[in-house]
A and B are shown apart, each in its own frame.
Chain A
Amino acid sequence: MEYVELALAKGRLVDSTLELFAEIGLVFPGYSKRSRKLVFTNDEWRVRLVLVKSADVPTYVERGAVDMGIVGKDMLLESGALVYELVDLGFGSCKMVVASKNEAYRRKVKPVVATKYPAIAQTYFREQGRPIETITLHGSVELAPLIGLSDCIVDIVETGTTLRENGLHVTEEIADLSARLVVNRASFKTKFERLSCFIDQVQAAVDSREARL
């Protein structure tokens, strides 16, 4: 039987995902936090797990380089990848928001928005008929309004601590986010039995977690 390939976003989703997999009996003994290995297999399940940068997961899945992926909804929205978004895994919950020092940016003709998510920012403001200019940053986005690089930011918040400590607060909520199991459209059709069996087990594990809450 062929291996099923799954791309997992490196970073905060790894531990929660492996915990969830352990609940359905799928373990990757080769994995440890300090290891630099990027590929792990479970020969019994015939599943191969690859760790990739979260922004790349939608690309891997859409292009069919892997059959499935686990990634935050933020990356799916940003990439606009055409994939099946089958399971909301329930963890990694956070929000996509607009944040600023004050409300002054709302009065600007064309406010400057610093963000790691230029597509999400453009879509959100354009749908409301509000022209903006985006500056794409790759980290510490909160810094941009403080040093006058931008009028506001579009970013994800979990607790809001980072925002508060940098003198920013949430001014608009764009979307609720969480981790998703996504599947390549062609794989879903051509490897239907393998994948649907796996997906059903993941969904069942998520459902039983929710039932316990």
Chain B
Amino acid sequence: MERLSRLVPNGVKDLSHQDLEYKQQILGEIAQLFRDRGYRQVQTPIFEYYDLFKELKGTLEMDRMIKVIDTDGKVLVLRPDATIPIARMAASQGADPDQLRRFSYVTSIFRMTDDPHNVQSREFTQAGVELFGGNTPSADVEVISLAIACLQRAGITQFTFDLGQANFFKALIQETSLADDELVHLQRLIEQKNFADLKRLVETLAIRGEVKQALRTVPRLYGPPEAVLEQANRIVLNSEMAAGISELSEVYTALCQAGLSQYITLDLGLINDLKYYTGILFQGYVHSCGRPIVLGGRYDDLSRQFGCDSKATGFAIYIDDLIAAAKNLERQNGHGIR
């Protein structure tokens, strides 16, 4: 018989004192950076009502939340996401929605995933910030610059931040009247950059020729920013699409002025979680990790659902992946963080 008393469940792991000290060191650096930039650390409970996440459809996979039944029969979940509870908390503070408020967090996230390759798939650490009350490109620039500074502080040298614009695709879709399942299929093919199948699908849709052309172009709008912006402008079909591009261009220009252009690429095919993101969104990639290590973007509609219409943007860093990348680099170069 298996001796379960000697094992830990799938998707979680112990940290030795060396591993924990290393992690605390990186987290300490990042937390200091958050403080220096005016972000105050907050904490939300490990348990939340399932309804908090259930009502925000399309944000998280409902089946992947770890659920517990409360004594009164209500369903609770272990914190499956950091941003939604912080938006709830920020809305409950009764502040002026347009007042700039800066919050940071370092927290465990729990998900019921069965990734056999990832020993930390069910409990992992995220550190990040949320900036409420700012709806100008300067707020986007502020959080993107901070995310870049975090990777630099952790000693990562080779990384890329990919910027997208959720409104560009949303505005393009307004030109069509596609059914939900067609839209889901279309979105998936664009996200996968599956040009061949996308072409086949678009040809079967009952939409105008210029919209077909635009849909087929969206996943190709990636790479060096100047060229992408120019190409994107050529398929603009309405004023919202144009506004989305000019906003993206403004954010990119500001990041260049801050001396960060070497880290930035654009991808207008970045259209995941469109129900959640409402403007500029971004993903940070490092050389050695196959997944994005930073996820972030603007989510102006979220806090309205909690009764406080505060525009917001923020990001989360996957700390365990960051540590793996930093250690990897250390092995290659033979030096530590900083």
Contacts and interface: CB of A to CB of B under 8 A. Distances in A.
Interface of A: 59, 62-65, 82-88, 184-187, 189-190, 192, 196
B254 to A, nearest CB: 21
Contacts of A65: 290
21 contacts: A63-B290, A64-B288, A65-B290, A85-B193, A86-B195, A87-B196, A88-B196, A88-B197, A184-B290, A185-B285, A185-B291, A186-B286, A186-B289, A186-B290, A186-B291, A187-B290, A189-B160, A189-B162, A189-B267, A189-B285, A192-B265
B17 to A, nearest CB: 28
Contacts of B285: 185-186, 189-190
A64 B223 contact: no
Interface string B159-195: 1101000000000000000000000000000001111
B267 to A, nearest CB: 8
Contacts of B196: 87-88
Interface of B: 117, 158-160, 162, 192-197, 223, 265, 267, 285-292
A192 B288 CA distance: 14
Nearest to B189: A85
A190 B223 CA distance: 10
A24 to B, nearest CB: 18
A87 B160 contact: no
Residue from B196, B265, B291 whose CB has the most chain A CB atoms within 10 Å: B196
Nearest to A89: B196
Given A190-B158, A190-B160, A85 B194 contact: yes
A187 B158 CA distance: 12
Nearest to B194: A85
4 pairs of A and B residues whose beta carbons are closest in the complex: A64-B290, A88-B196, A85-B194, A186-B285
Given A185-B285, A186-B285, A189-B160, A85 B192 contact: yes
Contact of B193 (A84, A186, A187, A190): A84
A87 B219 CA distance: 13
Nearest to A73: B197
Nearest to A127: B181
Nearest to A83: B192
A5 B133 CA distance: 45
A53 to B, nearest CB: 16
A59 B162 CA distance: 23
A26 to B, nearest CB: 21
A63 B118 CA distance: 10
Contacts of B159: 190
Contacts of A85: 192-194, 197
B63 to A, nearest CB: 13
Nearest to B267: A189
Given A83-B192, A189-B267, A192-B265, 18 more contacts: A59-B117, A63-B290, A64-B288, A82-B291, A84-B193, A84-B194, A85-B192, A85-B193, A85-B194, A87-B195, A88-B195, A88-B197, A185-B291, A185-B292, A186-B285, A186-B292, A190-B285, A196-B223
A192 B162 CA distance: 11
Nearest to A186: B285
Nearest to A67: B290
A190 B197 contact: no
A190 B286 contact: yes
A85 B291 CA distance: 15
Contacts of B195: 86-88
B262 to A, nearest CB: 12
Contacts of B162: 189
Nearest to A59: B117
Contacts of B291: 64, 82, 185-186
Contacts of A184: 290
Contacts of A189: 160, 162, 265, 267, 285
A5 B223 CA distance: 21
Contacts of A187: 290
A104 to B, nearest CB: 30
Nearest to A183: B193
Nearest to B287: A190
A62 B287 CA distance: 14
A62 B290 contact: yes
Contacts of B292: 185-186
A114 to B, nearest CB: 23
A125 to B, nearest CB: 17
A84 B267 CA distance: 13
A190 B285 CA distance: 7
Contacts of B289: 64, 186
Nearest to B288: A64
B117 A84 contact: no
Contacts of A190: 158-160, 285-287
A192 B285 CA distance: 12
